[in-house]
Structure 1
Amino acid sequence: MVNSGITFIEIIDSLQQAVAVVNSQGRIISVNRAWIKHSIEAGVPETFAWNGVRFMQVYSAISEADGQPPDELDSVLNGTVPFIRMEIQCLLQRKLEWFLLDASTIYEDDGRTVKGMVVCLTDITKSKALEHDLMEALTQIRTLRGLLPICAVCKRIRDEHDIWNSVESFLEKHTHAEFTHDICPDCIRRLYPKYSSVLDGSSCS
């Protein structure tokens, strides 16, 4: 394999996701630039020393959950579960943000002995806001599907409660349509024949 001159640390530092490496005792031994950047934005001093801090304390401090790290994180750290992915809410600078947390176990070369874990936080606040807006829109959209029982004589429609409704009433209940009333030319000719000549004249002009 050709040596490109790019170090592993440089690759990790180039990521937009916040990455922390945790040893088998659960203490942070390294963080990348994105982690530091997000921390500063959250109000942590730039000079704060992350090395040696217990990751579970960090999780409890930033998570909007019950304050206790989930058992899955302990399972990754002890190697019982090699990988987890979950969404967490964080209250940063009085603003609620969402992150996707990925945690993976780091093993020795034997593939069994646990060295620690790597944690990656991806900011998904914008996508969660979009998801919320879409769900709000979906709850406001009511559509008509299937067969509608309609009276062959009066044209009223029977709803799910066996109540017969006018077409206008039924559509207003099941859609966002609103009605204004007018009279079509054919009905004007039938109901008001004296105005037929006016209509016919306007249609010829």
Structure 2
Amino acid sequence: MNFSAFHEYLNGPAPVLFFRLDGQGRVLSMNNYACQICGDLTAGTPFQDILIDFQEVFDFQKIAHSRAKEILLSLQTVSGHPKSYLFVFKRLGNLVLAFGRPDIQELEMLRTEMVALNQELGNLTRDLHKKNAELQHALDHVKTLQGVIPICMHCHKIRNEKQVWDKLEEYLIEKADVDLSHSICPECMEKLYPEDGDDEC
């Protein structure tokens, strides 16, 4: 891979972090992906300033002179959520090149969490549709009486919207979706059947 292709790869869509550091571990430049993740750092920013939990123990000189092996580092990100990357540091003259790739385990954990969230969202959506259907079913069966109802002051028949006088019971059964059972109140019992009241005494 020539330098032009390498530069294009580093600034392409691949999730590869690239930092060009000086001999003291200060950031000289970075690729587009690193800018998206860490923000546009000021030239000269110490690399360890973007690390989480490693500021005190990060020994840049030791890492820069060691054999190339991956080191798991957590970075501060512009989103405010830390992300873990596996880094390799390669010395090139007076410069140190730092390459970071996403931590596969963290990506797998995020993928698992995403699948679980999608399943939960699907369950909630199904529950919501079910509750909406139940609510619609209930609304379809609700009948209410509203407004002024014309009623005869003598026989208590009610005039319906067709201008027909219905018995109170028929009107309630049709409009209020109720069942009525007939009985007799004590006052009417005494008034209409006084002899039954005398028998009880």
- TM-score, normalised relative to structure 1: 0.43
**Which structure's residues are more often helix, by fraction?**
2
**Structure showing greater Rg:** 2
- TM-score, normalised relative to structure 2: 0.43
